Amino acid sequence: SNFDLVKLSEEITEEMQLITKQNQNIIYEHTGLTSMVRLDQNLLKNCIINLIANAIKYSGENTFIEFNTEVTSEKYIITVKDNGIGIPAADQKHLFQPFFRAHNTGNIPGTGLGLNIVRRYAGLMHGEVDFESTINKGTKFTISFLIDDEKTNYSYN
């Protein structure tokens, strides 16, 4: 159903800021004429939390995380960008497989399920998940939804 993406995103930012590292800041910005979207709010919240949790976990102290939302007449775009450890090129094709963890995670804990869930939840809403990453530089994840009135609706509530 319809909800305010900016309101949700601000709430998530505030919650996730509580579990950041020392001097790690989440910067949220929205672009677009409206902030109202038609998606499943709970599925989307889960996706965003997973991406921000990864950004926190896989980047260091004294860094910032850029969280952006955009609503145009054609699509909704959500991005989470960090300045962290990045993902080795050879690992990138396996990233959404359950239990897969990249080879540079060292002793950072995790089960390798978060991104698989993100992709499945985004898929339920007819969305796509993409990423760009450079090792030792950072990673940017994007979830995008084409607004297509012909298709079945985006709401599972």
The residues that touch ligand ATP, with contacts defined as CB under 6 A, are 54-55, 58, 82, 84-87, 95, 100-102, 105, 110-116, 139
d(CA 63, CA 75): 29
Indicate the residue among 71 and 95 with the shorter CB distance to ligand ATP: 95
Indicate the residue among 35 and 105 with the shorter CB distance to ligand ATP: 105
Phi, psi of 93 (to 5 degrees): -70, -15
> Residue 141 CB: number of other CB atoms within 10 A?
24
Angle at CA of residue 83, ends 131 and 36, nearest 5°: 55
Indicate the residue among 7 and 21 with the shorter CB distance to Mg ion: 21
For residue 115, the minimal CB distance to Mg ion (Å) is 6
Phi, psi of 154 (to 5 degrees): -90, 5
Residues 75-114 that bind Mg ion (CB under 5 A): 114
For residue 90, the minimal CB distance to ligand ATP (Å) is 12
Per the DSSP assignment, residues forming a β-bridge with 145 are: 76, 127
Spatial contact of 144 and 127, defined as CB atoms under 8 Å apart: yes
Q: How many residues bind Mg ion (CB under 5 A)?
A: 2
Partner touching 127 among ligand ATP, Mg ion, none, CB below 5 to 8 Å by kind: none
Task: Report if residue 54 touches Mg ion, rule: CB under 5 A.
Answer: yes
